[in-house]
Amino acid sequence: MSDNAILRSVIKGTGSALPRTRVSNAELSKRVDTTDEWIVERTGIHFRHIAEDDETTSSLATEAAQKAMDAAGLVSSDIDLIVLATATPDQTFPATATIVQDRLGCNGCVAFDVAAVCSGFLYALSVADSMIRTGAAKHALVIGAETFSRILDWEDRATCVLFGDGAGAIVLSAEFGDKGILGTRLHADGAHNQLLYVDGGAGTTGTVGKLRMKGREVFRHAVVNLASVLREVLEESGQSIDSIDWLIPHQANARILDATAKKLGMPAEKVIKTVDVHANTSAASVPLALDTAVRDHRIKRDDLLVLEAMGGGFTWGASVIRY
Ligand SMILES: CC(C)(COP(=O)(O)OP(=O)(O)OC[C@H]1O[C@@H](n2cnc3c(N)ncnc32)[C@H](O)[C@@H]1OP(=O)(O)O)[C@@H](O)C(=O)NCCC(=O)NCCS
């Protein structure tokens, strides 16, 4: 079949949003027993944005989604699907996607959340792509949005310095041709629940809980899982490591980014890195990094992109996209 006969999900626009307040490592070290040197050396993080009381997962998501719609040249009535990835919804229910839908004025279309923590955007992307390719949607908003600052234990210096808040969004549209999502692979392994989790929940403690992590073990699994899923998705989509123009990884830690790129033999210049200024924003991190590199003109039309992420569950996945 010629490429012109294949229906694909094409990225038509990107957008992102960050809370107003940016916190440096030096500022953080006034309230947490840490230092700028420790954080930079172990993680590459210099800054993170932290939501104020009036900033929520839905408000950040709405701003990012509106920018993505504007970039795509679409209006609210064009959107027929909203998939929002988050582990920090405004409320346990309804889905934050429906709050965003109402704010954008896309009322009536399909809207729901997916929960796959830091891999959430890859999961959301895959669901939206499947619905587009089966004809269930034509123009989808895929959003990753988080306010992780609200589930951090600010007494636990081993975790609270690592995360930040933010949102990223894309518009995916159905188009025939050779552009768009060429392949996606997702995985989960619930055996690793206790390495990265939140110690509360609506159906257990009746509280939201705080993030808990065994950082060293997560690090080890991340590098192995990410390198392996990247190889899988490249093989599935018939692409080679050399053909990748940009790797857009989940921004957890600069050392994980460097180690994964090295394991794959990818030059560091092809890896989009925003962890230094955003820290780990969970489901928001991949679309935030993507939007950053689209807007600073590094990413150009026809470039081959690979998105990847790994997070609590464990969950992990990767997607190959002709932009
Ligand atoms: C979290 C992480 C940066 C910690 O680095 P590490 O080299 O594994 O460090 P450890 O946890 O073993 O701690 C080493 C020492 O630093 C100390 N330390 C931990 N956090 C600190 C901080 N913020 N400031 C200063 N010291 C700190 C520890 O107390 C420990 O001290 P000790 O040796 O006296 O006991 C690293 O494990 C990591 O990046 N893991 C992956 C996490 C991740 O990306 N998770 C999200 C995936 S979605």
Domain identity same for 185 and 295: yes
pLDDT tier at 2 (50, 70, 90 boundaries)?
Answer: low
Domain identity same for 227 and 103: no
Domain identity same for 145 and 15: yes
- The answer to whether residue 193 is catalytic is no
Residue 55, pLDDT > 80, answer: yes
- Of 177, 205, 229, at which residue does a domain stop? 177
What tens digit of pLDDT does each residue of 167-190 get? 999 999 999 999 999 999 999 999
Domain identity same for 164 and 312: no
pLDDT number for residue 59: 98
Domain identity same for 190 and 104: no
Residue nearest atom 20 of ligand 1, based on CA coordinates: 158
pLDDT number for residue 263: 86
pLDDT (average), residues 11-33: 97
- The answer to whether residue 280 is catalytic is yes
CB under 6 Å to ligand 1: residues?
34, 38, 42-43, 118, 157-158, 161, 213, 215-216, 218-219, 222, 252-253, 256, 280, 310-311
Ligand 1 atom nearest the C-alpha of 43 is 3
Domain identity same for 197 and 245: yes
Reference 239, options 318, 129, 127; nearest CA is 318
Residue nearest atom 3 of ligand 1, based on CA coordinates: 42
Contact call for residues 307 and 290 (beta carbons, < 8 A): yes
Reference 211, options 158, 280, 284, 159; nearest CA is 159
When divided into structural domains, the chain yields a total of 2
Domain identity same for 269 and 232: yes
pLDDT tier at 260 (50, 70, 90 boundaries)?
Answer: confident
Q: How far is the CA of 266 from the centre of ligand 1 (A)?
A: 26
Residue 6, pLDDT > 70, answer: yes
Assigned token pair, 322: 């002709």
The CATH number of the domain holding residue 59 is 3.40.47.10
- Of 161, 177, 193, at which residue does a domain stop? 177
Tell if the pTM clears 0.85, that is, is over it. Answer: yes
pLDDT number for residue 163: 98
Residue 1, pLDDT > 70, answer: no
Is the torsion defined by CA of 301, 84, 104, 293 positive or negative? negative
pLDDT tier at 264 (50, 70, 90 boundaries)?
Answer: confident
Residue nearest atom 31 of ligand 1, based on CA coordinates: 158
Residues 266 and 239: their CA atoms lie apart, in Å, by 14
pLDDT number for residue 81: 98
Ligand 1 atom nearest the C-alpha of 311 is 48
Tracing tokens 């990884």 back to the chain, one arrives at 249
Mean pLDDT of the chain: 97
Domain identity same for 203 and 145: no
- Of 155, 177, 199, at which residue does a domain stop? 177
Pocket perturbation via mutation, ligand 1, pick of 148, 216, 278 by most ligand atoms within 8 A of CB: 216
- The answer to whether residue 118 is catalytic is yes
Domain assignment of residue 14, given as a range: 3-177
pLDDT tier at 40 (50, 70, 90 boundaries)?
Answer: very high
Q: How far is the CA of 60 from the centre of ligand 1 (A)?
A: 29
Residue nearest atom 9 of ligand 1, based on CA coordinates: 216
pLDDT number for residue 84: 99
pLDDT (average), residues 249-271: 92
Give the active site residue among 109, 118, 139, 253: 118
What tens digit of pLDDT does each residue of 266-295 get? 999 999 999 999 999 999 999 999 999 999
Tracing tokens 């929940």 back to the chain, one arrives at 201
Residue nearest atom 21 of ligand 1, based on CA coordinates: 158
Residues in the chain: 323
Contact call for residues 101 and 65 (beta carbons, < 8 A): no
Domain identity same for 44 and 127: yes
Residues with Cβ within 8 Å of residue 8, at least 6 apart in sequence: 132, 133, 174, 175, 176, 177, 178, 179, 180, 181, 182
Domain identity same for 165 and 205: no
Q: How far is the CA of 210 from the centre of ligand 1 (A)?
A: 17
Q: How far is the CA of 216 from the centre of ligand 1 (A)?
A: 7
Domain identity same for 60 and 123: yes
Is the torsion defined by CA of 89, 225, 271, 305 positive or negative? negative
Domain identity same for 172 and 202: no
pLDDT (average), residues 113-134: 98
